[in-house]
Amino acid sequence: MTQWDDSQAKAVSEDITEKSNALPARYFTDDDVFEMEKDKVFGQYWVYAGHANCIKESGQYFTRTIGDRQLIVVRGHDGEVKAFDNVCAHRGSKMVEDTPMTDPGDAKRIKCPYHLWTYDLDGELKSTPKSFEEAGLNPDLEDEDVQKFDAEENALNDVHVDTIGPLIFVNLSEDPMPLAEQAGVMKDRLEALPLGEYEHATRIVSEVECNWKVFASNYSECDHCQANHQDWIKGISLNESELEVNDYHWVLHYTHAEDVEDEMRIHDEHEAQFHYFWPNFTVNMYGTADGYGTYIIDPIDTNRFQLIADYYFRDSELSEEEREFVRTSRQLQEEDFELVERQWEGLRTGALAQAQLGPNEHTVHRFHQLAQEAYDS
Amino acid sequence: MSTQDQAPYVASCPECDVDLQTDAPNEIIEFHRRHYRVTGHEAEFEYAQLDLDEDVTSDGLKDVVWQLQEQYENGVPIGVVAAVMSDRGLSIGETLDEIHEVRMTGGLYEPQDDHLGAF
Ligand code: FES
Ligand SMILES: [Fe+2]
| Residue A85: its H or E element | strand A81-85
CA neighbor of A98 nearest in space, from A79, A75, A72, A117: A72
Tell me the average pLDDT across A41-50: 98
* CB atoms A205 and B38 under 8 Å: yes
Of B18, B36, B41, the CB nearest to A207: B18
**What band does A9 get if pLDDT is binned at 50, 70 and 90?**
confident
Which residues lie across from B90 on neighbouring strands?
A: none
Pick left, alpha or beta for residue A96 (phi over 0 → left; psi -120 to 50 → alpha; otherwise beta).
beta
CA neighbor of A157 nearest in space, from A220, A89, A93, A99: A89
Measure CA A149 to chain center. 36
* CB atoms B31 and A207 under 8 Å: yes
Walk along chain B (119 residues) in steps of 10 and give the mean pLDDT of each run: 72 91 96 93 93 87 94 94 96 96 86 89
**What band does A259 get if pLDDT is binned at 50, 70 and 90?**
confident
Tell me the average pLDDT across A98-126: 97
The C-alpha of B24 sits at a distance from chain A's nearest C-alpha, in angstroms, of 15
Tell me the average pLDDT across A13-40: 90
* Residues A143 and A241 occupy one common structural domain: no
3 state SS of A363: helix
What are residue A12's phi and psi, to 5 degrees? -60, 135
- pLDDT, position B5: 67
**Residue nearest atom 1 of ligand 1, based on CA coordinates:** A91
What are residue B68's phi and psi, to 5 degrees? -80, -25
* Residues A100 and A148 occupy one common structural domain: yes
- For residues A336 and A221, give the distance between their C-alpha atoms in angstroms, rounded to a whole number: 12
**What band does A13 get if pLDDT is binned at 50, 70 and 90?**
confident
**What band does A2 get if pLDDT is binned at 50, 70 and 90?**
low
**What band does A168 get if pLDDT is binned at 50, 70 and 90?**
very high
Q: Judge whether residue A90 has pLDDT over 60.
A: yes
3 state SS of A245: strand
What are residue B12's phi and psi, to 5 degrees? -150, 160
- For residues B30 and B28, give the distance between their C-alpha atoms in angstroms, rounded to a whole number: 5
- pLDDT, position B2: 47
Q: Is A39 within the bounds of a domain? A: no
**What band does A18 get if pLDDT is binned at 50, 70 and 90?**
low
For chain B, give every domain's residue range: 9-118
Q: Which DSSP letter does residue A4 get?
A: -
Q: Are A70 and A83 in contact (CB under 8 A)?
A: no
CA neighbor of A266 nearest in space, from A187, A163, A195: A195
Output the CA angle A177-A308-A174, nearest 5 degrees.
20
* Residues A277 and A200 occupy one common structural domain: yes
Q: Name residues 36-75 of chain A within 8 A of B (Cβ).
A: 65
* Domain CATH number, residue A51: 2.102.10.10
Tens digit of each residue's pLDDT (9 = 90 or more) over A275-301: 999 999 999 998 888 999 999 999 999
Q: Judge whether residue A263 has pLDDT over 90.
A: no
Tell me the average pLDDT across A32-55: 98
| DSSP structure string for B61-117 | HHHHHHHHGGG-SS-EEHHHHHHHHHHTT--HHHHHHHHHHHHHTTSEEEEETTEEE
Q: pTM score, two decimals?
A: 0.90
* Residues A152 and A264 occupy one common structural domain: no
* Residues A218 and A138 occupy one common structural domain: no
* Domain CATH number, residue A360: 3.90.380.10
Q: Is A183 within the bounds of a domain? A: no
Other beta carbons within 10 Å of A48:
24
* CB atoms A341 and B35 under 8 Å: no
Tell me the average pLDDT across A340-358: 95
Tens digit of each residue's pLDDT (9 = 90 or more) over A208-228: 999 999 999 999 999 999 999
Q: Are A81 and A161 in contact (CB under 8 A)?
A: yes
Q: Judge whether residue A78 has pLDDT over 70.
A: yes
Q: Are A257 and A236 in contact (CB under 8 A)?
A: yes
User: How many percent of chain A have pLDDT more than 70?
Assistant: 98
CATH number listed for the domain at residues B9-118: 1.10.10
Question: In residues, how long is chain B?
Answer: 119
Q: How many domains does chain A have?
A: 2
Range of the domain at A85: 47-165
Q: Which of A4-8, A86-90, A170-174, B31-35 shows the lowest per-residue confidence on average (mean pLDDT)?
A: A4-8
- For residues A293 and A140, give the distance between their C-alpha atoms in angstroms, rounded to a whole number: 61
- pLDDT, position B52: 85
Which residues lie across from B118 on neighbouring strands?
A: B108
Q: Judge whether residue A260 has pLDDT over 80.
A: no
* Residues A63 and A123 occupy one common structural domain: yes
- For residues B99 and B93, give the distance between their C-alpha atoms in angstroms, rounded to a whole number: 10
Complex ipTM value: 0.73
Q: Is A41 within the bounds of a domain? A: no
Q: Are B78 and B115 in contact (CB under 8 A)?
A: yes
Q: Which of A33-37, A119-123, A140-144 shows the lowest per-residue confidence on average (mean pLDDT)?
A: A140-144
Residue A112 Cβ < 6 Å to ligand 1:
yes
